[in-house]
Amino acid sequence: MRNKPQFIPNRGELKRKAVNYKTGMEIKLDEATLKKMEQLVENSSAEFLSETVESLKGLREALGRAATDPSARREVLEHIREEAFQIKGMGGVFGYPLLTEFAKSLHDFLKELEDLDELQQEIVSIHIDTLYVVVSHKIKGSGGPLEAQLRASLKAAVDKAKPAAKPAP
């Protein structure tokens, strides 16, 4: 490392290995290939949904554990955070943007937490229920009246846990 930047030319070995004028596919992605890629994703969609159902079941059980055993709360918090992160990343890939949106809401809610008190457990529970609704109804869109209703109820729940604003002096 040095103070004066040193520029290192890229050797271009990988490009030489893969880019040519004879074999392979057009660099500009064509419709047919894009369709095939999208079909691949679609083919895994059912597996994603069934894994998400299992994940939500696991979250429901974990939440029950946190309610009865306060010493398990931190571990449960970590578990829920991890699952929320996974659903956040995967939902939209498989055509369920609402799963991504609601899992992000859950992940954001848990981000700074170090414990799960009763109110926070309730908020998590509402998130899990809402995610269930999306999965069980296989809701693929994000702009209809049901989606708006789900979004509003989730927001109301999260707002409940926010500290009340201080009155103006």
12: left (phi over 0), alpha (psi -120 to 50) or beta: left
Give the interface size with other proteins as a residue count (CB under 8 A). 50
Nearest C-alpha neighbor of 45 from the set 99, 1, 103: 99
Q: Please give the residues from 6 up to 25 whose contact with other proteins meets the rule CB under 8 A.
A: 6-12, 14-15, 17-25
The CA-CA-CA angle for residues 137, 84, 52, to 5°, reads: 40
Subset of 99-118 contacting other proteins (CB under 8 A) = 100
Neighbours of 18 (CB within 10 A): 10
Q: Is 47 in the site for other proteins (CB under 8 A)?
A: yes
Q: Which of 38, 54, 78, 115 binds other proteins (CB under 8 A)?
A: 38
* Spatial CB neighbours of 80, under 8 Å, sequence gap ≥ 6: 59, 62, 63, 106, 110, 124
Residue 164 binds to other proteins (criterion: CB under 8 A): no
Rounded to a whole number of angstroms, the minimum distance from the CB of residue 84 to other proteins is: 10
What token pair was written down for 116?
């799960």
Q: Which residue's CB is nearer to other proteins, number 38 or number 61?
A: 38
* Contacting residues toward other proteins, per CB under 8 A: 1-12, 14-15, 17-29, 33-34, 36-38, 40-41, 44, 47-48, 51, 82, 85-86, 88-94, 97, 100
